[in-house]
Structure 1
Amino acid sequence: MQKDFHHTVTYVLSRLAGFEHNDSNTIAYSAQYVDDATNSGTVQFKNGAMYSRISSAHGTYDLHHHVNQHENHLVWVPFHFLPGNDGKTSEEATTGKFINKLVCRPDSPVAREMLDMCVRDAYKNYALHRLGITMHVYADTFAHKGFAGKIHEVNKVYDLKLENEDLSYLDEKKSKGLTERFPMGHGAALECPDKPYLRWSYKNALGEIISRDNTEDFMHAVNTLHAELCRYRYELDDSIDVPALLDEDLKQIESNFKTFTDPKGDNRHEMWIESIAKGEFSFGEQELSYVAKGEGSWKYDAIEQKSFFDSFNDRFNYRDSFLDSDWKLFHDALQEHRLTIIHDVLPKYGICVS
């Protein structure tokens, strides 16, 4: 999924689950920032203070990281291609190869346990940031189903066909090239799994024809994400009335999925921003924005970094507000999430990726 879902749809669902604007903004920003937190390492301050953070994504052309299987396990597995354990619970025996455990499955037992762990930490100061990260990973289990977060033939895509969009000659060659030389995640399927309006099909490495209707899959994700956001609020206060999704809101979400058909996720995101600002959902009109890096971003607010890229020689002015900044809390939550998934959740299913 791309920015249109991870940021704006997550915001909409948070509001419809009863979260107020500020909390919904924190959840939604965190959900999208998982795709934009591409820097790792130590942030150094002029007074000698330091903060170490991890990345939850790699740049498109960061080949060094993409070909490192251990790096793939630390980034793509916990944040984008959560292993589905072949749909089995931790008590059920699984058969077949280890790769079958790693393939992403929608709303799998592993995903359910991830959600439970997130709720368990709901009283920490980075709880909403952790919730946003969890919503990103959970949503991706629907879009990334059938693919795994490592370089493997299970990710090969043959005879890619689009029903309601043209596949360019260059994209066709790109898909074939990635299948042959670099079958990582859904790379060989290009951006097909991430476009809410798209109907498409392909043949997998087993020779099976896989047909996908993304709108149907994304609406399934909408209903389950909303239910989990409501559960989160109810776990904190069981006296609240958990709001049901109104038909009018569901219809508007589905309409946006089907009519916002620009191939570029950033452009669809702007359409969602406009839809929210116009008051097309039951919570009314609301201005919303998202800036990943540079002025106006969480990172800038925390350390006043204008550059989009980090340098080893960077030294920043330390302010007491850094400890409570959204950027620092997000990275605290990011580390907690990865540690929980890799060291607490996956080993229960016989999955070792650390």
Structure 2
Amino acid sequence: MQIDLHHGMTWVVARAAGFSAEQAKTIAHAAQYVDDATNYGHIEFDNGAAYERVATAHKMLDYKNLDSLKNMKVWVPFHFLPGNGGLPAGENPDGSFIQKLVCKPGSYVAQDMVNECIADKHRPYALHRLGITSHVFIDTWGHQGFAGINHKINEVTDIEDLNGEAEEGWLERITEFFSGVAQDDIPSLGHGQALSHPDKPHQHWRYINGLGEVVERNNINDFLLAADELCKVYQQYLGVPTTGLSQYVKTEISKCFVEFDMDDGEQRHQLWLNAIAEDRFDLGAYQLTYIAKGEGSWKHQALGTTRAKGDEKVYPYSPAFLTSDWKLFHDAAKKHRLTIIDDILPKYGICVS
């Protein structure tokens, strides 16, 4: 999924579940920032203090970064949560180990992730961690059938657009993304070979996976179910009945999936922001914004820098850094990653560290 759903829709679902507009803003911002926090390593301050942050994303289609893309500490805990074949801990899916790593919608692993997040809600970074959890949770629908490693199972061929639009040849389109790369060298990482088909909420499509299986995906149905289940996660977090979305909000979200049918995620995102400002969902009009990098971003507010890449040699230290959204996000990301890799996955016989 892309920014339209990880940010715009997530805010709507959080408000519908009972969070305040400002709480929903923090949750939705953290959910989207998972895709934008691409820097990692230590930063230093002028008073001798230091802080280590983690990367929660890499650029999926940057072939030059393939070695980084193989980093399971990024793709497995933050984007392609292993599904263990949809089975509970202690049971194994048929086939080889790779079947345990394939993402499954709303899996037992995902439920364990949610429970661990809720158990941590007394922390200062609680809403930031809930945003990260939200991103990973709904991606189990968007990324279902794919694994967060470079493996044959992620191979995609014979893509068909079932929305009635002409589909440019798969090989032509994918070689445009991986310019100058031979066909046999195109990486089978995550849904890279499927391009953006798994991310578009209006997409109805079909493909053949690396196992030779024909897979048909209706993103409207899948993503609407993901939104409803995410609402239940939020209601569980708040300790209220887990009834899911109201029929009105569910209907409006579904209409947005259909109406906002352009391929560009940023364009769809702006339409979601407009709908929120116009109170389309009957949750109260709100001017929601999102700045990933530069002036006004979480990083700028925390460190005073507008650099999108790289770091200053030394940052001026302020006590406010300790409670900044940027630091709280990275605190939450480190705890999330540790919990997934060291605590949850081993219960399912999965070791990726």
- For Structure 1 versus Structure 2, the TM-score category normalised by the shorter chain is over 0.9
TM-score (norm 2): 0.94
- Aligned equivalent of 2:204: 199
* Unaligned residue ranges in structure 1 (runs of 5+): 235-239
Give the Cα–Cα distance (whole angstroms) in 2 for the partners of residues 81 and 124 of structure 1. Answer: 25
Change in 2 beyond 3 A, CA 1:83/1:190: same
Deviations 1:76-100 (A, max 9, x none): 0000000000111113244321101
Give the Cα–Cα distance (whole angstroms) in 2 for the partners of residues 243 and 206 of structure 1. Answer: 38
Alpha-carbon shift at residue 48 of structure 1 (Å): 1.4
Aligned positions, number: 347
Opposite residue 34 of structure 1, the aligned amino acid is: V
- Aligned equivalent of 1:162: 161
Give the Cα–Cα distance (whole angstroms) in 2 for the partners of residues 301 and 322 of structure 1. Answer: 9
Deviations 1:212-261 (A, max 9, x none): 11000001101100011000000xxxxx5667522221111000001101
Give the match's secondary structure for 2:135: helix
Give the Cα–Cα distance (whole angstroms) in 1 for the partners of residues 175 and 35 of structure 2. Answer: 26
Give the Cα–Cα distance (whole angstroms) in 2 for the partners of residues 317 and 172 of structure 1. Answer: 44
Deviations 1:253-305 (A, max 9, x none): 00000110110101100000000001101212111000011111111000011
Change in 2 beyond 3 A, CA 1:175/1:293: closer
Alpha-carbon shift at residue 149 of structure 1 (Å): 0.3
- Aligned equivalent of 2:331: 332
Alpha-carbon shift at residue 167 of structure 1 (Å): 2.7
Change in 2 beyond 3 A, CA 1:204/1:179: farther
Could you tell me the percent identity over the aligned residues?
46
Q: Where does 1:1-354 land on structure 2 (aligned, <5 Å)?
A: 1-60=1-60, 63=63, 65-68=65-68, 71-164=70-163, 165-169=165-169, 170-171=172-173, 173=175, 180-181=184-185, 182-234=187-239, 245-311=245-311, 314-354=313-353
- Is the 1:178–1:187 Cα contact (8 Å) retained in structure 2? no
Opposite residue 184 of structure 1, the aligned amino acid is: L
Give the match's secondary structure for 1:113: helix
Give the Cα–Cα distance (whole angstroms) in 2 for the partners of residues 49 and 87 of structure 1. Answer: 44
Give the match's secondary structure for 2:71: helix
Opposite residue 321 of structure 2, the aligned amino acid is: F
Give the match's secondary structure for 1:36: coil
Change in 2 beyond 3 A, CA 1:93/1:59: closer
Alpha-carbon shift at residue 314 of structure 1 (Å): 2.4
- Aligned equivalent of 1:237: none
Give the Cα–Cα distance (whole angstroms) in 1 for the partners of residues 301 and 202 of structure 2. Answer: 35
RMSD of aligned Cα (Å)? 1.8
Change in 2 beyond 3 A, CA 1:172/1:343: closer
Deviations 1:166-187 (A, max 9, x none): 4335315458979732111000
- Is the 1:65–1:72 Cα contact (8 Å) retained in structure 2? no
Poorly superposed stretches of 4+, deviation over 6 Å: 175-179
Give the match's secondary structure for 1:159: strand
Change in 2 beyond 3 A, CA 1:211/1:12: same
